[in-house]
């Protein structure tokens, strides 16, 4: 039986792979109606993506989510990654992407929300007994 931490790390890797692919995938000159609608909600998509990255990273790697220093470091790493993807969108030829400061701000805001919401999510989950103690790392009911 896999440990809970392995599932958390897998979720983080899956989210990072999705964000990486969607950040660097080429956009055609004529994106079509579906992609045009998605591009219209660009900032929301950026915020949700980096919320997912920071939230799953907190779950996977931070044992005590209430510690401010750990949250600040993780947020800084997410901001750095968001900045790097924005720069890569310009640096990689042929993907028809641009580097926008507003996208960077949306990435940073989403990461901040994820980092800030993780400790309350842990508290709510513990009160409803839907997660186990992070020290045990085993599924509930598994000996």
Q: Is the pLDDT of residue 1 over 70?
A: no
Q: What is the 3-state secondary structure (H, E, C) of the chain?
A: CCCHHHHHHHHHHHHHHHHHHHHHCCCCCCCHHHHHHHHHCHHHHHHHHHHHHHHHHHHHHCCCCCCHHHHHHHHHHHHHHHHHHHHHHHHCCCCCCCCCHHHHHHHHHHHHHHHHHHHHHHHHHHHCCCCCCCCCCCCCCCC
Q: Whole-prediction pTM value?
A: 0.79
Provide mean pLDDT across the span 17-30.
88
pLDDT, tens only, 36-62: 666 667 889 999 999 999 999 988 888
Assigned token pair, 111: 């990461």
Q: φ and ψ at 135, to 5 degrees?
A: -75, -30
Predicted confidence at residue 33, as pLDDT, reads 73
Banded model confidence at residue 141, pLDDT cuts 50, 70, 90: very low
Helices 68-91 and 101-127, packing angle to 10 deg: 150
- By percentage, how much of the chain surpasses pLDDT 70? 78
């Amino acid at each position: 039986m896999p440990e809970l931490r392995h599932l958390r790390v897998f979720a983080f890797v899956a989210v990072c792979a999705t964000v990486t692919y969607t950040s660097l995938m080429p956009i055609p000159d004529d994106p079509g109606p579906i992609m045009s609608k998605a591009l219209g909600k660009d900032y929301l998509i950026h915020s949700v993506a980096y919320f997912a990255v920071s939230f799953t990273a907190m779950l996977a790697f931070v044992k005590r989510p209430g510690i401010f220093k750990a949250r600040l470091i993780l947020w800084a790493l997410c901001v750095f990654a968001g900045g790097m993807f924005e720069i890569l969108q310009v640096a990689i030829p042929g993907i028809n992407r641009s580097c926008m400061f507003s996208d960077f701000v949306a990435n940073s805001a989403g990461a901040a929300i994820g980092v800030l919401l993780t400790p309350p999510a842990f508290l709510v989950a513990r009160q409803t007994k839907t997660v186990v103690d992070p020290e045990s790392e085993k599924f509930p009911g598994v000996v």
